[in-house]
Structure 1
Amino acid sequence: MSQAIILFVSLLLISATIQLDSTSNASSKVIIKANETILSENRTFELGFFNTDGEPRWYLGIWYASIPTPTYIWVANRETPAKNLSVAAAVITVEGKLAVIASDGEILWRTENAAGAGEARLLEEGNLVLLGGEGEVVWRSFDFPADTWLPGMNLSGRQSLTCWRSSADPAPGKYSLRLKPPEYGEIELVFNGSQRYWSTGNWTGDAFSGVPEMTIPYIYLFHFSNPFTPAAVFGYTEVSAEEGGRPPLTRFQVDFSGRLRQYTWSPQTESWNMFWSQPENHCKVYGLCGKLGFCNTKMLIPCKCLVNFEPIDGSGWGAGDFSGGCRRRGGSICGGEDVFEEIGAVSFDGAITESFSGTRSKCENTCLSNCTCIGLFHNLRTNICKNLFGSLLNLRDLTSDSTIDDVLYVRVPNEGLNRKKKTKNLVLIGTICGFVVILAIMIVALLLFRKRRFKREKEEEDAIFPVTNLKVFSYKELNAATRGFSEKLGHGGFGAVFRGELGDSSPVAVKRLERPGGAEREFRAEVCTIGNIQHVNLVRLRGFCSENSHRLLVYDYMPNGPLSVYLKRDGKDLNWDVRFRIAIGTAKAIAYLHEECRDCIIHCDIKPENILLDEDCSPKVSDFGLAKLVGRDFSRVLATMRGTRGYVAPEWLSGVAITAKADVYSYGMTLLELIGGRRNVEGPPSAGGGGAEEKWFFPPWAARQIIEGNVAAVVDERLPGGYDIVEAERLGLVAVWCIQDEEATRPTMGMVVKMLEGVVEVGVPPPPKLLQALVSGESFHGVGADSGIGESASGGCPNDNVQVSGNSMDSRNHLPTTA
C-alpha cells in the first residue's frame, strides 16, 4: 500500500514539473524561430539561425547581410547546435534572459549573467542588445564576442576572442586573443588559454610597437582605462575616407589556424582583402599540428604526420583542424618490435629529455627498454644522446641550419618500416629499368631536339614579344653602339641607361635591365606595351635585345633630358609657352594610352623623371616598365602596389582595384610641379638663412592658393610677368581637379585635354582633404631618380632670357614652413 502511495506522489510531482515547464515556455517571448531573421536598421547585419556544413546543426548567430559572402561575426550556441531548424527558436524567458531552445523546450544556450530583459534589438554596428523595461541595456553580445573584433567593440581584460574549431565548426577552438596581464598594455594570442605565442608589443599611444600596420587609413585604434577594473580597454572605429561618406567594412578575426587577421571589404571585387596576418610564419602558432605533427611553411597544407604515423582526427584534419595531432600506426608502443626512423634536424616543444653520453646503438637500446620513450636525439659529432618522453609539439624542420648537429629519430613499428623498405626496393628496381629506357629514348630524341631547337626558340620569342615593327638587336651590336656601355646617361628603377650611336649615325638611348628577379617581367611589359603603340608624345622604342641573360631596350635619344632636370631651383629654366606645351602634350599621351589603344594602358608611374624632352622641348612619356593593361570589358584591375611615392593615388593604399584615374592623380601632382617650377617635396625657407631645414610638402599649400584664386603665388617666381595668367589659372584648377581624393571626382585624361585647351570650362574644385592624411613630406625624402633616357643639352630648352626674380625661394617667408 505504501509503495502505491509513493508511486502516486511521484507521478503527481512529475506532472506538476511538466506543467510548470510548459507554462514557462508558453510565457516566453519568441524573438525569432526557424527561418526568420532580424535585420539592423540599415540592413548591414542580420540575426538568425545558420548552418555551415549541410549537417543537421543549426546555430543562432549574426552575419553581414549587406555582402554576398557568408561571414559570421557572432555565434550564441557554439557548443550546442539545434538538430531541427523547424522547431528551433530564440526567446526571452520569463526571467528576462535570452535563450535558444529546441523542439521539446530544451534550453540549448542562454545568457546566464543578464536578467530582466523584455526586448532584443540588433544594432547597426552588429551588436545584439537586450533592453530592460525602461529601455536600459542589460546585456550586449559585444561583451561576449566569438572570434571577431568589430568597430565599436571594446576589448578588455575580462574578454577574449576564441577561434572556431575548424572552417565549418563554430565550436570554440584552442586559440584565443586577449589583453596580456597584468599590465594589459598589449594584445596577445594564446593556446589553450595559457600558452602565449605572439604579441602586438606595447601600446605607444597611437599604435602597437610590434604591429605598426595594424592601423590603416580607414581604422582608428584607441585605448582607455576602465573605471570599474584596473585593466585597460582597447577598441577601434572606422574612419570615413570623406566626411559624411561611408567607410569600408573592416574586422579583425582569430581564425581556426591560430592567426590574427585584419580584413577590409572590397565592393569592387566583392571579397575580403586581408591586409596582414600574424604570426607571419604559421609554424610559429603553438600546437598548430598537434602532437607528433610536423609543420612545414613550404607546403600548401602546413601539417603532416611523421613516417608511420596517422592523424587522430581524420575529418578534422581534412577541415583544417590539425590540433588533434598524430598517432603511430600499429597500436601500443610496446606491442611489438620497434625500430627508429630518422627525421632530421628539427626543433620541438613539450617533450622531456634525458641526456647521457653514448653511441647511437646504446641510445636506441636505452630507449627501447622503456615503453614511455617515444624517440631520441643523437649528436654524431659529440656522441651525446637524449631520450625523449612525453609528447612532441611544434615540430619544425631545421635541416637548412648547418649549425644544428642533433638528429631526431622517432620510434616506429618495425612492420611498417619493413613494408616501407620493400616498397623502396621495388621503386629502386623500377627506377633503374626506367632510367635505361629513358636513356635510349634521350639519345634518339637528342638529334631531333637539336634540329628543332632554333625553330622552337623562334616560336618562343614570337610568343613573348608579339610585335613585328621592332628591330631585334644582337648584344654585340649594342655593345659596339654604346662603346662598351661607357657613356652613362642615368639610372632608372630597373637599370642603367647609356648613350649610343647606330650604324646610320642616329643617336639612341639603350636601357640595360639589371633588376634581379623582376627584370624579365618589366622587360616584357615595356616591349609588349610601347612596341605596339605610336604617338607623337610617347617615346619611340626602336628595338630590343633578348639574348641569353641580356635584356636591353633601344629608344630614340632625347637630347634635352627629363623634365625633372628643369624643376630644380638651381637648374635650367623653361619659359611659359614650353611649360604649357609640355602640360598639353603629356596629357594627350596619357589620354591616348587610356582611351585610344586597343586595351586601356595604365602607365602607373607618371612623374617628371618619366617625361622626356626632345630637341624642340616637346614632351615624350617614357618608362612603361610598370604599365598595366586593362581590357575594354573591364573598368578596374587588381595590382600590387606600384609607382613612385608622392605620385601614387590614395586608392593604392586601400588595396582596392585601380582604374586609369590613378594616372590622372599622378599627372595632377606632376602638373603642380610644372606650374611651380619646383619639386613637390623640398626644403622650406629658413628664417635668417640659418638652422636645419625640414622637408616641406608643396601640393596642399598650392591647392589651397589655387582654389582661393591666388595662382600667382604658386607660379614659378622665375617667370615674373612672363606667363599667361588665364592659362596659369586653367592649369592650376585642372591640377587640383586631378588630385581629388575620390577617383570618381577626377576627370578622365580626355577631359583634361579639353579643359587645358579651353574647349571645356574649368570650375573651382573642392579641396583634397586626404592629401595630408595619406602622405607626409618626410615620407618622400629622396623621391625618384631620373630615368636617364636623355640628358640636358648645352643649349637646353628656351627660357626667353627671363632672369630669376630677386624673391628667391630662400626669401619667401610668407609660405608656411610645414605641410
Structure 2
Amino acid sequence: MDFKLHDIEAITNNFAEAQKVGSGGYGEVYRAIHEGEEIAVKKLHQLQGLDNKQFDSEFRNLRNIRHQNVVRLIGYCYETKSKYMKHNGELVFATIMERVLCFEYMHGGSLDKHIQDESCGLEWPTCYKIIKGTCEGLDHLHTSQGKPIFHLDLKPGNILLDESMTPKIGDLGLSRLVASTKTRQTEMRDGTLGFMPPEYIDSGFISKKFDVFSLGVIIIKMLAGDKSYFRCSEMPSEQFIELVTEIWTKKLQAKPGYSSHEIDMLGVTSCVEIALRCVDRDRNKRPCINDIVHELDQLEAKLKEMSLASDVSNDATVQVRSSTTGGPWVPLLCFFSILESSVLTVLTCQIYVC
C-alpha cells in the first residue's frame, strides 16, 4: 500500500530516536506498529540524483514479490517537504524529498551479528537453514518473476532473520537505485566491495553471476569466519576445505553427547565446495542459483538416507504412513535384525496396506 508521510511520522513518533533500531548506508530504520502489525520503517538518506519515477516504479514492482525467504515490502512513500535546516552553518528554508520504505519486522536481526572470527556462532542445523533459505530466496528473484531481479548488494547485513531463524533477503532494489550516488561509494569503502565480483569492480559488468559471487562470500564467511575467509584466495581449494573441516570438527565434537559428526561434516564440506565455485574469478565457471538449489536438494536427500541408515543400525524402526481417505497403497517399512554366525544382518521387508 502507499503510505502518507504524516501517517509514518505518527507511528514512529516523528522518527524518534527511541524507536530507531538500526542504520546503514541507505538510511535509518525504525520500529513501529501499523494496523496491529509490527513493521520496520526505513527512512532513506537524501540522495542526489535519485529519480522519483524510477523509485516509484521499482518499489511498485517489488511490492508484488511474495516468498518466504524475501523480506515483504508492505508499502512506501515519497513526498516533498519544506523545513528549516542548517546549510554551511546557517539556517535556511529548504525543500527536501522524503522517501520511506515499510517492511515486515524481522525479530532475529541480521546475519552479520552471528558471524565471528572463526565460523558462525550458530549451530550447524541453523547455519544450513540460513544457507538453504538464502539460496531459495535468491533463486526466486532470479527465476520466478519473468524478468530476473538482481539484488547487487547481497551481504550478511542484508540477510535478515525471523524468530525461528528463517532467513529473508532484505534491502532489495535499493542498490540499483543508488548505484551512482555518493552513498553507494561510501558503502563500497565500508565493506560492500568485498562481496562484489571482479568483473563488476573492473568494468561494471552485471549478470546473474554477480549475486552468486556475493552468495559464495556469505557462505564462506559463515563457515570459515571473517579471519579465515581471506585465506581462501591464498591456498588451493582442497587445503581451504581441510581448514574449514578442522574448524567445524572441533566445534561439533565439543558438543556433549554429539553423535552425527559424519552426517553434519558432509553438509559442511558440501556447502563450502559450492561456495568456492561461487567465488571463481571466471563468472562462466560459477554455478547458476537454480543449480545450487538443486544440488542442495540432492544433498538433503543423501543426508536423510545416511541418518535413516544410522537409526536402523542402532535399533529396529517401524515407520508407518497411513491414509484415512482410501487413497493409494501406502508402504509399511519393517526392519528385522537377525543374528547369524555372530554377524548382525539387517533385512528390509516392504509391505503394502490399503
Q: If the TM-score is normalised by the length of the shorter chain, which range does it land in?
A: 0.5 to 0.7
Deviation at 1:604, TM superposition (A): 0.4
- Equivalent residues of 1:473, 1:545 under 8 A apart: yes
The aligned counterpart of 1:618 is 166
| Mapped pair 1:700 → 2:233 | yes
Aligned positions of 1:641-656 closer than 5 A: 644-655=192-203
1-structure distance, mates of 2:301, 2:168: 27
- Equivalent residues of 1:705, 1:713 under 8 A apart: no
Task: Note closer, same or farther for the CA distance 1:737–1:619 as it changes in structure 2 (3 Å cut).
Answer: same
Task: Note closer, same or farther for the CA distance 1:640–1:541 as it changes in structure 2 (3 Å cut).
Answer: same
2:147 pairs with one of 591, 599, 606:
599
1-structure distance, mates of 2:283, 2:250: 32
The aligned counterpart of 1:483 is 13
1-structure distance, mates of 2:210, 2:145: 18
Task: Note closer, same or farther for the CA distance 1:758–1:640 as it changes in structure 2 (3 Å cut).
Answer: farther
1-structure distance, mates of 2:120, 2:216: 22
Task: Note closer, same or farther for the CA distance 1:536–1:628 as it changes in structure 2 (3 Å cut).
Answer: same
The aligned counterpart of 1:546 is 78
| Mapped pair 1:711 → 2:254 | no
Q: Deviations over 1:249-268 (max 9, x none)?
A: xxxxxxxxxxxxxxxxxxxx
Aligned positions of 1:468-617 closer than 5 A: 471-486=1-16, 487-504=19-36, 506-520=37-51, 523-524=55-56, 527-548=59-80, 549-569=97-117, 573-617=121-165
Q: Which has the higher contact order (CA 8 A, sep 6+)?
A: 2
Q: Deviations over 1:496-549 (max 9, x none)?
A: 111111132x21100001132145568447514421211110000111122222
Q: Deviations over 1:183-240 (max 9, x none)?
A: xxxxxxxxxxxxxxxxxxxxxxxxxxxxxxxxxxxxxxxxxxxxxxxxxxxxxxxxxx
Deviation at 1:742, TM superposition (A): 0.7
Number of equivalent positions: 267
Q: Secondary structure at the match of 1:567?
A: coil
1-structure distance, mates of 2:119, 2:288: 32
Q: Secondary structure at the match of 1:711?
A: helix
Deviation at 1:482, TM superposition (A): 1.5
Tell me which amino acid in the other structure corresponds to 1:498: Y
- Equivalent residues of 2:120, 2:127 under 8 A apart: no
| Mapped pair 1:750 → 2:329 | no
Q: Deviations over 1:326-377 (max 9, x none)?
A: xxxxxxxxxxxxxxxxxxxxxxxxxxxxxxxxxxxxxxxxxxxxxxxxxxxx
Aligned positions of 1:79-94 closer than 5 A: none
- Equivalent residues of 2:249, 2:265 under 8 A apart: no
Deviation at 1:737, TM superposition (A): 0.8
Deviation at 1:490, TM superposition (A): 1.1
Aligned positions of 1:646-685 closer than 5 A: 646-655=194-203, 657-676=205-224, 678-679=225-226, 682=227
Q: Secondary structure at the match of 1:601?
A: coil
Deviation at 1:697, TM superposition (A): 2.5
| Mapped pair 1:738 → 2:268 | no
1-structure distance, mates of 2:74, 2:296: 31
Aligned positions of 1:55-204 closer than 5 A: none
2-structure distance, mates of 1:739, 1:757: 21
Aligned positions of 1:256-655 closer than 5 A: 471-486=1-16, 487-504=19-36, 506-520=37-51, 523-524=55-56, 527-548=59-80, 549-569=97-117, 573-626=121-174, 644-655=192-203
The aligned counterpart of 2:317 is none
Task: Note closer, same or farther for the CA distance 1:571–1:739 as it changes in structure 2 (3 Å cut).
Answer: closer
Task: Note closer, same or farther for the CA distance 1:707–1:699 as it changes in structure 2 (3 Å cut).
Answer: closer
Structural RMSD (CA) = 3.2
Deviation at 1:666, TM superposition (A): 0.5
1-structure distance, mates of 2:207, 2:64: 21
Task: Note closer, same or farther for the CA distance 1:734–1:563 as it changes in structure 2 (3 Å cut).
Answer: same
2-structure distance, mates of 1:743, 1:474: 43
Q: Deviations over 1:293-320 (max 9, x none)?
A: xxxxxxxxxxxxxxxxxxxxxxxxxxxx
Give the greater-gyration-radius structure (CA): 1
The aligned counterpart of 1:429 is none
2-structure distance, mates of 1:744, 1:755: 18
Tell me which amino acid in the other structure corresponds to 1:756: L
Task: Note closer, same or farther for the CA distance 1:578–1:761 as it changes in structure 2 (3 Å cut).
Answer: closer
Tell me which amino acid in the other structure corresponds to 2:41: V
1-structure distance, mates of 2:246, 2:61: 40
Tell me which amino acid in the other structure corresponds to 2:43: R
1-structure distance, mates of 2:250, 2:29: 33
Deviation at 1:732, TM superposition (A): 0.7
1-structure distance, mates of 2:72, 2:136: 15
Q: Is the deviation greater in 647-656 or in 586-595? A: 647-656
1-structure distance, mates of 2:215, 2:60: 23
Deviation at 1:481, TM superposition (A): 1.2
Task: Note closer, same or farther for the CA distance 1:735–1:583 as it changes in structure 2 (3 Å cut).
Answer: same
1-structure distance, mates of 2:100, 2:218: 28
- Equivalent residues of 1:582, 1:619 under 8 A apart: yes
2-structure distance, mates of 1:698, 1:624: 30
- Equivalent residues of 2:241, 2:269 under 8 A apart: no
Q: Secondary structure at the match of 2:233?
A: helix
1-structure distance, mates of 2:250, 2:115: 12
Deviation at 1:699, TM superposition (A): 3.4
- Equivalent residues of 1:513, 1:519 under 8 A apart: no
Q: Secondary structure at the match of 1:606?
A: coil
Uncovered stretches (5+) of structure 2, i.e. residues with no partner: 81-96, 256-260, 303-354
